Structure 1
């Protein structure tokens, strides 16, 4: 056996004896036995020197020999090892938006064998061979990009699955993938990924729990148990340490041993920290990364650039300790360093020089310069050998080392160096490999393969760490608790001192809205899991790969930890809102209400953790989380009833977690006896059943338990219709314009009352279990359109705007219409209505081969009465073109949309003109501004306004209007999903009537307005910019008012407070400046 410098050196220093003897009052063992928190007044033990460590390891080795215990040695051999990656080259490799789309489509086509991939293989490691022997420390040198990291991962079996691996790697003669346990080889990453909330000691101790107690000490413990008689004959100086290692405190002992040799004693109980949390330095983090893997059972270590961030002295200290461990514990170590100083280089036994994926040299350190001298290159006397080895293969630096006087210098390529190495040194290496005897070593590896950590111990370690992280992240959870408490108080205050009879559908609707908000807020509260999970994912992926941390252990631990969090947060919400809002007072109902919210909170936390794991980045996870939040709300059955969903979207209703929570919490409330008042609606007999059916929710009680724990279940949901009444407000806006027209028309009003529209139930919905024969699209819609009044019909997509227009215009050829429609007080007759009405489609369909004038003339020929004379028709067409501002385009070709002819805005005006030449009294316009920019939309709306000023009745459906376009309308009909009307009436000046209608802020919350600096700013700006407050201005629909009257009447701003507001505004500026000064003076969030 090779003992190196420790061989034959029996006397151990006193510190080493103290280290092993277990003197808790003054020695190293006393420090090992302590907890993670240093006791007050306790004396720090002296640092562990190289001599102490060598003496301790030497004593361990001799004791193993006396007990007949031999540590397993692992020899790593690799033959024709090749690693390739498929990459794109040229411009296609640049991650532009176009390239990403094209590459994704190509990947999809390649996966289904529709085309051949255009990626080119790039070799990272090119057919390298060699052997790494135990009890030796190998230095891996190479420039950045030479393939060092890939080479180390290939030897450790940690390669990415996207890389192509060729060749063979043997551990003691057997292929790596066949029998070698993963925990016998360890890869130390160059990236320092740790939990910022844990201390150094806690980080390394968790790693020891996942990897197992240090193999050396465990073997000694087992040997002692097998040979009870021998223990009394051996030296007693290590017995206490071995017993503690074997019978209860081993992980703490070995953790402290690793902390000492890595020089981490002074920061062992300091948090690791990150960018926002003060912690240890970068060099200490690097040492903690090394310590994570040294505490395990591994016999082979592959360390990647572990000197990054360390100074030369610290690098030498750590390398010296690792050298002693490799030599005296028979470990196999391959260490990659970037710029090793000469004294550190001397600690290594062998060198592997890797250049462009090829091994240029692999052999003893002493022979490295000799190999290059045979090639004609010599290292200067004062040159660092490591620097020489990396520069001699560089094309830029190679010439300065040319030492042959006989031959002229010629550039030696990497391939030439590699070929020379294969011809000269590789045969000797292969001879050693063939003569090496691996018998017995395989057996040792296989015996140690049974040494696995139990699942229970893995779970305990993960659960303990999650509890620790919960404590360290307690401010986050305290903030969430305060947040949900405030939200509960805000939501419940509108219900204070209110009395509802619980005998009407309107009262039930208010409770339904409160239940919806409860589910929404509880679900939204779980979104914080996205940020917390994203922050922890890199560390988990590292531990999953290097520490064999199973996903199930983390999942179970996080789930158990989240249970008390959900209990507290949902308990606070339920306790603060349930009886204040006035839900069913039964204790059983209270518990069932709480159970639904608890399950919803657990679901939301799990959902957002899942989305974070998919997204992996904060931006992508937030995008997925927001999309999921919107999807489960929309498809959950409240925002859009299940009956209103398209058949192809019905699956979304049953997959949305919101569906089950909303149904369960509504069933719990409306099945209470308070809602048992008789109310006959469809199949419902009580108010509670009626509101459930109106909302399209489930009515059977057994669905409560199905929704709390959802599983596959079939039920028939019937199509329902609402029973709400709305009355139109007939507020005038002045007389119609008396503009003269060539063809006079009679101004007509249109009144519709209780309009319901049904269609036959689609076959797809019938197949899904819906028993209703009809599907309702409009529900009890009432309103009026008047001459000279421009009415906007608004609502979200699917609210029924176009359907209502088609029903009123008589354009529906199918379905069933209920209700009354009257024209000027008389029942509508479709035979005559088509003569007095016009309908502008959303799509502008015209003949491309006609001019503007020809298009209008053709329409006039077809639609005007036969008694209209030709010259009157022509004059009327010119009048209409002037009205819609198309006179200059009279002879322009209509053309093809998007290619030739008129622009989109001009086509829209032509569509309006085509209807106007029929001289209608009522005009319906479907989305006249859709697809237009702001300027074009303004031109079209100016045309519409001119049409209204002629005294015609005009109604427009419109999407996303600007404030200018919106306030050009006189009245508004607002619809929601399901064909229900929620507002009908005059907008008023600056939309004041509508704003007052929707203004629901309780009086006791008005203080928020006055506490907002923006409110004071607006106040000051309004009065300071409007000049003379006594000046008369014209207010639309009201007449002349002074500026002071206008501001006070419509904005609530009083002139007499202007001086006070000005002072307060200046004071607010000074206040925030002073707060900023205090913050930068006393608060410091920088972490060093």
Structure 2
């Protein structure tokens, strides 16, 4: 009884001391809610989520039990101190993701609400860099010099049918055999130079008909319907356009403005077919083709917001299916699954809302920063947030290249030339307005001083 009384007294005194210390701590650190400091701490904690490589654990199980146990504990402790965003991580096998598995990371699971495409891309880059002899990572850039393109000058072009195919062939043969004249051809692109390094994004701005589509087709080796001049040079890190067409067609991709799919296939079937065709032989070790293709398909649908349309037909103008914006996202997901190192997107944001268009540009930026891919995007309406993600900009007008260079210096370049950017106008709209005589604003001070401001694309 005496001992019980002493224990109760000691517990009460301990509770009293802990209560007083807690009161002092509260007085020193009052609760202010989820302020900026707390939000930053939560953000840092989320970034330090760690994962355990399932591939490494499988390999280590085949070694001696004692040595593997000590090695596993050491690497587990090292992994716990690093983030999945770290470039020195070995990488985690994201295909066989199971919430009940130790080391499971929801950021790498496309079926999880916490899935992060940035974390997934970084993880795949870590896997490739962990064994470069097996995965063989590479990059691809493009340089074009004195690039010009021309096409046949025709007032009317008819769609080929069974009735008019013979007259069209005869007319084409006649145009080839007869001597060429200047009025028979139309120069779409005037001579221009450009360079796009691996890891950079290029935005092409210009009004419809200025040559944006022709430029994208020319640098992606898709010159069907027009001719690139013989003295033009297009090089992909030493590879010519003919080399790309013959041996590396899948490494340089052009995504057209129109969305053409097999309308009766569902979204999952369409993307899964592309993933199966593009599954590499040197994929993640221990993963079969079907599992890899299925995982990449799930990742693409989760990245571009297509998971809810998994079993819906893609459709077209005659077959009822997904909406126009979702169909455009299917086209974007197809190119993303291909994993090409050099991509050309022709008006890829058509039919997308501003938020989805921004997420698309961010996905390209993530691939460029982490995977060192290069992408060229032609956009007719580009928001300021989207424009800030691009490294370079090209402004076209009537086939002339008005500017090619850093996206941060383009606005000042035209302002120094004598054009005025109205308040609250985005940089992309200002650059596009330069090509329109009715929209551009000339600086009156330049006119008063007699400084000539260019009025035409040729000037």
Query: What TM-score do the two structures reach when normalised by structure 2?
Result: 0.70
2-structure distance, mates of 1:295, 1:340: 25
Match for residue 211 of structure 1 among 268, 278, 285 = 278
Distance 1:64 1:102 in 2: 55
User: Paired residue for 1:163, among 195, 212, 227?
Assistant: 227
Q: What is the distance in 2 between the residues matched to 1:102 and 1:220? A: 51
SS at match of 1:295: helix
Deviations 1:742-778 (A, max 9, x none): xxxxxxxxxxxxxxxxxxxxxxxxxxxxxxxxxxxxx
Task: Answer yes or no: is the 8 Å Cα contact 1:147–1:356 preserved in 2.
Answer: yes
Tell me the equivalent position of 1:76: 142
Q: 1:143 to 1:331 in 2, by over 3 A?
A: same
Output the CA distance in 2 between the equivalents of 1:334 and 1:23.
34
Matches within 5 A, 1:369-384: 369-384=411-426
2:119 to 49, 55, 61: 55
2:249 paired residue number? 182
| 1:35 corresponding residue in structure 2 | none
How much has 1:13 moved relative to structure 2?
Answer: 4.7
Q: Of residues 181, 188, 191 in structure 2, which corresponds to 1:127?
A: 191
**What is the distance in 1 between the residues matched to 2:170 and 2:248?**
40
Greater share of residues in helix: 1
Give the match for residue 872 of structure 1.
Answer: none
Q: Aligned residue for 2:26?
A: none
Q: CA deviation at 1:408?
A: 5.6
Whole-Å separation in 1 of the counterparts to 2:436 and 2:357: 26
| Contact preservation (8 Å) 1:88, 1:119 | no
- What is the CA-CA distance between 1:338 and the residue it aligns to? 1.2
Provide closer, same or farther for how the CA distance between residues 364 and 265 of structure 1 changes in structure 2, counting only shifts above 3 A: same
Residue-by-residue CA offset, 1:627-664 (whole Å, 9 max, x unaligned): xxxxxxxxxxxxxxxxxxxxxxxxxxxxxxxxxxxxxx
| Helix, strand or coil at the partner of 1:272 | coil
Say which of 253, 259, 267 aligns to 1:200: 267
Give the whole-Å Cα distance in 1 for the aligned partners of 2:183 and 2:171: 10
Over aligned residue pairs, what C-alpha RMSD do you find? 3.4
SS, match of residue 138 in structure 1: strand
Partner of 2:151: 85
Moved more, 118-127 or 254-263: 118-127
Name the residue aligned to 2:455.
412
Instruction: Give 3-state SS (helix, strand or coil) of 2:441's partner.
Output: helix
Question: Separation in 2 of the partners of 1:108 and 1:188?
Answer: 31
Residue aligned with 1:128, SS: strand
Aligned equivalent of 2:367, options 312, 321, 325 = 325
Q: Encode CA deviations 1:844-873: one digit per residue, 9 max, x unaligned.
A: xxxxxxxxxxxxxxxxxxxxxxxxxxxxxx
Who is 1:307 aligned against? Answer: 349
Distance 1:141 1:401, change over 3 A: farther
2:243 aligned counterpart, secondary structure: coil
Partner of 1:190, secondary structure, is: coil
Q: What is the aligned partner in structure 2 of residue 280 from structure 1?
A: 322
Unaligned runs of 5+ in 1: 1-7, 33-43, 225-242, 417-1088
SS in 1 for 2:94: helix
CA distances 1:549-595 after superposition (whole Å, capped 9, x unpaired): xxxxxxxxxxxxxxxxxxxxxxxxxxxxxxxxxxxxxxxxxxxxxxx
CA contact 2:254–2:344 (8 Å) conserved in 1: yes
Give CA deviations for 1:1034-1060 in whole Å, capped at 9, x if unaligned.
xxxxxxxxxxxxxxxxxxxxxxxxxxx
Q: In the comparison of the two structures, how many residue pairs are matched? A: 363
Mapped contact 2:108–2:119 kept (Cα < 8 A): no
- Structure 1 position 87, deviation (Å): 1.0
Structure 1 distance, partners of 2:289, 2:140, is 28
Q: Is the 8 A contact 2:365 2:389 kept in 1?
A: yes
Q: CA deviation at 1:374?
A: 2.3
Distance 1:117 1:348, change over 3 A: closer
Does 2:210 align with 1:146? yes
Distance 1:289 1:47 in 2: 24
| Distance across 2 between alignment mates of 1:144 and 1:126 | 16
Contact 2:391 2:407 survives alignment (8 Å): yes
CA contact (8 A) 2:206 2:435 kept: no
Matched residues in 2 for 1:122 and 1:30: separation? 51
Verify the 8 A CA contact 2:276 2:289 in the aligned structure 1: no
**Alignment of 1:393 onto 2:435:** yes
Does the residue aligned with 1:260 lie in a helix, a strand or coil?
helix
User: Which deviations, in whole Å up to 9, do the C-alpha atoms of 1:287-338 show, x marking residues without a partner?
Assistant: 1011111111411100110000001011011111121011100101111111
Distance 1:23 1:102 in 2: 60
Shift of 1:199: 0.9
- Greater RCO structure (CA 8 Å; 6+ sep): 2
Once the two structures are TM-superposed, the CA of residue 136 in structure 1 deviates from its matched residue by 1.0
| Per-residue deviation, 1:282 | 0.4
User: Secondary structure in 2 aligned to 1:174?
Assistant: coil
Which residue does 1:40 correspond to in 2?
A: none
Secondary structure, aligned partner of 1:249? helix
Distance 1:83 1:118, change over 3 A: closer
Q: How does 1:754-833 map to 2 (within 5 A)?
A: none
Secondary structure at 1:73 match in 2: coil
Determine the C-alpha separation between the residues in 1 that align with 2:127 and 2:211: 41
Q: Could you tell me whether the CA contact under 8 Å between 1:398 and 1:411 is conserved in 2?
A: no
Q: Residues 368 and 342 from structure 1, CA distance in 2 versus in 1: closer, same or farther, beyond 3 angstroms?
A: same
Contact 2:279/2:292, CA 8 A, preserved across alignment: no
Shift of 1:156: 0.9
Deviation at 1:187, TM superposition (A): 0.8
2-side partners of 1:106 and 1:64: how far apart? 53
Q: Which has the larger radius of gyration?
A: 1
1:251 aligns with 2:317: no
Q: Tell me by how many angstroms 1:54 deviates.
A: 2.3
User: Residues 284 and 373 from structure 1, CA distance in 2 versus in 1: closer, same or farther, beyond 3 angstroms?
Assistant: same
Corresponding residue number in structure 2 for 1:610: none
Counterpart residue number, 1:738: none
